[in-house]
Structure 1
């Protein structure tokens, strides 16, 4: 995933960045239409409006170009994941987090990125690892850090906050994510998401509330 700057431009020049974005946009369209195996550097150059020579100045091969696209997508999705609002009482914060998380996973852009990474991860494991670290691990860490504050406040009793964060995230996915990612169902409605996340929240609090029977629900 190495971008090679052209001889006429510094690696951070405005022209260089503009040309690189132009190539990535063209390549993204070709990969979406033809898939990784069907895409050729010639088709990508044509879609990007550049010569093949210019294309190879910026990217050594199709693998490095594809990797740059996935890196860009995962970085942007990682930023969205980090922006989840996690504050206040657990009965309010957890459903808000869960619903935002599932909306991120189950939208056309997010789903397309995940399917692409899943399809190529065995052949290009560095892409799978990068996506996991930027998106999934970032989200687990964000939720885990919040849960730790609630443990310290005496609200929750959790030995491993990152593990508990993963548990909650998987519960929020139940019946929603896999049917969507495998295109068996369309993206879930807000009502479907709210129902599943509410159930996940109740299960989580039943397991981890420091004072069983306390009311920390969002209702």
Structure 2
């Protein structure tokens, strides 16, 4: 009996079950991430994923009916989470340079993470066989980021802090100015590893060029 003589509501039991299911799904995704990162998409197997995740193959198939479905869920979560973390922009902050500088730095810090680069490589590799992977990955990550940044820039145009422009294109320009070939270098493992010391100058130069094109008109 609960306090006051009433039975615990059914919602509590349902909530507990849903929490357990969410935890189990998280456990599977964490195991799958480890296997995909070490073996790649083609080299990974559902048996190995179940083993690393600490679940039975039967349990694994209850949550994901194929390796493809599991891979898609994992990569979408990665990009969606990144977009949520990076593109929380205060549209009313009058310090546009400050907002964009913080975004640029955070964007590059995440961009150079080895695990992030590895996931992009895996998606590119799997997209030839499963085109929907690339489409879904793009829509969940890059497209979401551009849309959020464009919405922020729309507000800056409306307040006169930026000149009138195609803000979707401007958002793409800013993000590409920040990484300016960096992602290509990382994907091909060309040159030395990227250091955080490179990030500040890159972002500063991106801001300079971006404002030369999109800054407020005199």
TM-score of the alignment, normalized to the shorter chain, above 0.5? yes
Alignment of 1:151-170 (within 5 A): 151-170=157-176
8 A Cα contact 2:178 2:206, kept in partner: yes
Aligned to 2:31: 26
- How far off is 1:130 after superposition? 2.1
TM-score by length of 2: 0.82
- Structure with bigger helix share is 2
Paired positions, count: 204
TM-score by length of 1: 0.81
Deviations 1:47-67, CA, capped at 9 Å, x for gaps: 222222222222211111211
Out of 115, 118, 130, the residue aligned to residue 109 of structure 1 is 115
Runs of at least 5 residues in structure 1 that lack an aligned partner in the other structure: 1-8, 213-219
- RMSD of equivalent CA atoms: 2.4
8 A Cα contact 2:87 2:103, kept in partner: no
Out of 141, 146, 150, the residue aligned to residue 144 of structure 1 is 150
Deviations 1:22-59, CA, capped at 9 Å, x for gaps: 22222222212211111122222222222222222222
Runs of at least 5 residues in structure 2 that lack an aligned partner in the other structure: 1-13
- How far off is 1:85 after superposition? 5.9
Aligned pair 1:202/2:194, yes or no? no
CA gap 1:56/1:164 in 2 versus in 1, 3 angstroms: same
| Runs of 4+ off more than 4 Å | none
- How far off is 1:108 after superposition? 2.5
CA gap 1:113/1:149 in 2 versus in 1, 3 angstroms: same
